[in-house]
Chains A and B, each alone.
Chain A
Amino acid sequence: NAGVTQTPKFQVLKTGQSMTLQCAQDMNHEYMSWYRQDPGMGLRLIHYSVGAGITDQGEVPNGYNVSRSTTEDFPLRLLSAAPSQTSVYFCASSRTSGGAWAKNIQYFGAGTRLSVL
């Protein structure tokens, strides 16, 4: 099993450019989420999904879009990149136990390091 795979590992963007961060998991997990990690701020939740076709906002959703068309994939879109979006982005997934996904371990990808100039 590959687990949670994120691509690309590194990316440099110019202000105003758009891009999509890819996240795929092969564990048939229903719950997936995106976090950003910033020095002094820790990890903060951007968006999450409890299954295909269902998404919701986290703590810092502005400037980001998500969709969940399949169980396996959960891409994160930056609509118009800003320097404030320079960060390390992590995707996570977990299985559910009768809908109680919070009981289960969350697995993280290796991260995407994004710089916006």
Chain B
Amino acid sequence: KQEVTQIPAALSVPEGENLVLNCSFTDSAIYNLQWFRQDPGKGLTSLLLIQSSQREQTSGRLNASLDKSSGRSTLYIAASQPGDSATYLCAVIYNQGGKLIFGQGTELSVKP
């Protein structure tokens, strides 16, 4: 069964700290992987998309890496800010059908 796991489920850090969120997937034959942010009571906002042929993507203070062989992705957030507080979701696609398989998310709290 194709599953996506995110660890930890929750994380609390002081402002300014660099942090890493983890995502693992059981089947390495992915098509792409996306990281999303979800604020309480809101929809999902796409942060980064990594295609299977890529190793990493960067956007501002965010850097996502992909290691297909080990079935892992990490989202690195530099110099965290209270505004980064949200739930971060990892999702993978295994074929051109576009179906996203989501992890349960990591709830991040950045304390001032």
Distance in Å from the Cβ of A52 to the closest Cβ of chain B?
16
Q: How many residues of A contact B (CB 8 A)?
A: 29
Closest to A45 in B: B99
- A102 pairs with B46, CB closer than 8 A: no
Cα of A62 to Cα of B31 in the assembled complex, Å:
27
- A102 pairs with B96, CB closer than 8 A: yes
Task: Give the tally of cross-chain contacts (CB within 8 A).
Answer: 61
Decide: A103 near B34, CB < 8 A? Known: A31-B98, A42-B103, A42-B104. no
Partner of A101, one of B49, B98, B104, B105: B98
CB of A109 within 8 Å of the partner chain: yes
CB of A25 within 8 Å of the partner chain: no
Interface residues of B in 45-64 (CB under 8 A from A): 45-46, 49, 51
CB neighbours (8 Å) of A42 from chain B are: 102-105
Closest to B45 in A: A108
Distance in Å from the Cβ of A91 to the closest Cβ of chain B?
9
Distance in Å from the Cβ of A78 to the closest Cβ of chain B?
20
Q: Chain B interface (Cβ within 8 Å of chain A)?
A: 31-32, 34, 36, 42-46, 49, 51, 89, 91, 93, 95-100, 102-105
